[in-house]
Structure 1
């Protein structure tokens, strides 16, 4: 028997792209030296269709495989984590209908609410801590060994067995910087994350978490707080993960 897992929290997001991301960076007075620098890679099996469009089969099945690791260098924590994300989340068997955790892994369920419409999308994520050196090896091609056993079980529950996870291609790196800030207007910590790629694609996302019953109010508070910082939330939204993965796939010369 399967059902949709229940979310009790929401992540409310407003994303700025390109020149708007640069303007937001300046308006928020960000300094990259104050943020946590990470490298991000995704895995999929990109193809170019007859119409020259890039297709990403795993993403089309609403499955995201994402590795984050600290950038090497002075002050690096040398930490890494791998996330299996289902968005929108399908029906799942009973072990996955509630949040749970184990040694070095955590399964969470929440609503993603991206602006400007803030339409809720059910998302389930299983994040597992990984060894830093193993993360570096995965970026060079040995992805299969990086999956934790609970992640394999979750992927199997949505029909992605080990055989369907062979010959995946690493898409990256995305250069990420993350800041945590306390804004007087909002009840919880604000997360700001900048993503850039070598071909100069740029995103800046401002997000805050809230209990489901508080989400509509927090959406208004976040929008108002951005306007008070001379930032007008974009009238259209774009999922940064899809845009970045597609852009990275184009660089492969398919």
Structure 2
């Protein structure tokens, strides 16, 4: 009994160290495709009670931004305000200016998943209706989706300015989002179901809790998911990486195919 209590205290202290400086923690678990239908049925989630979104990421074919810890994305939310976000991780909360903390679209969070706890900072700004579609159609540049304030935010946090002209469009991801409650969980649950262009799906379940409840929330949420038969993703993929790597691979394949055509034409031209 004493040993159990000591282990519990040690866990709480470890979690407290990992999330020091943040106000809240978001605990995430990914659900592989084989378990999605069970989760949807369990919590009565359907397209009749969801929030529909289309998500676009912006990066290079070799994911230079993502590998540097930066995420640039835009979301079309059907029936609601569209937005764009710049996010980076990891971050040291002590280096974040109070100026940014006061901004309405700023978030400083600890994300807990199967792979551990990572602190991140992000700044989200509203995007005018129709602008995302214009950018995707090539009528306006990607940089039009991001504000001067978002560029200043990256610079203030010591990140390199984004060269928007060097980025490609990765997406869209068709997404469905739900918020619901479960009797065994004291925190509201958010579910997001993403579908890629190849038809593959990935679902993420998450809760947000105050930092002071972090250790209890992590243990309780993971136990809840185990009880309903959900499996943790063996590949430990966040939905962002899962989406980006697929679309980046498609960009690289398309670029390779384009270089093969001129090579083949030159080879034919050189034949006797």
Q: TM-score range by the shorter chain?
A: 0.7 to 0.9
Within the alignment, does 1:120 sit opposite 2:127 as a pair? no
Range that drifts further, 57-66 or 216-225: 216-225
C-alpha displacement at 1:170, in angstroms?
0.7
Cα distance, 1:17 vs. partner? 2.1
Larger radius of gyration: 2
Report the alpha carbon displacement of residue 99 of structure 1 after superposing the two structures with TM.
Answer: 1.9
What residue is the counterpart of 1:226 in the other structure?
225
Contact 1:183 1:190 in 2 (8 A): yes
Residue matched to 1:247: 246
Equivalence for 2:130: 133
Deviations 1:22-77 (A, max 9, x none): 4433443321221000000000011xxxxxxxx2100011000011112xxxxx41
Q: Which runs of 4+ in 1 moved over 6 A?
A: none
Aligned positions of 1:122-201 closer than 5 A: 122-141=119-138, 142-157=141-156, 158-161=158-161, 164-201=163-200
Choose 23-32 or 236-245, whichever is displaced more: 23-32
2:109 is paired with a residue of what secondary structure?
A: strand
Q: Alpha-carbon deviations, 1:145-174, whole Å to 9, x = none? A: 111221010122333225x33221111110
For 2:66 and 2:94, locate their aligned partners in 1 and report how far apart those are by CA, in whole Å: 18
Moved more, 211-220 or 85-94: 85-94
Q: Is the 8 Å Cα contact of residues 178 and 191 (structure 2) preserved in structure 1?
A: yes
Are 1:66 and 2:76 matched, yes or no?
no
Alpha-carbon distance in structure 1 between the residues aligned to 2:20 and 2:147:
21
The answer for the alignment partner of 2:110 in structure 1 is 111
Which 5+ residue runs of structure 1 have no aligned equivalent?
Answer: 47-54, 71-75
Which segment drifts farther, 169-178 or 182-191? 182-191
Gap runs ≥5 in structure 2: 1-18, 256-272
Contact residue 35 and residue 230 of structure 2 kept, 8 A: no
Q: How many residues align?
A: 232
1:178-198 Cα offsets, whole Å, 9 max, x none, are 000012222221100000012
Deviation at 1:84, TM superposition (A): 0.5
Contact 1:62 1:89 in 2 (8 A): no
Task: Mark the CA change 1:94 to 1:208 in structure 2 (over 3 Å): closer, same or farther.
Answer: closer
CA 1:97–1:79 in 2, change beyond 3 Å: closer, same or farther?
Answer: closer
- More helix, by proportion: 2
> How far apart are 1:234 and its partner, in Å?
4.0
Q: TM-score, normalised by structure 1?
A: 0.82
Contact 2:27 2:208 in 1 (8 A): yes
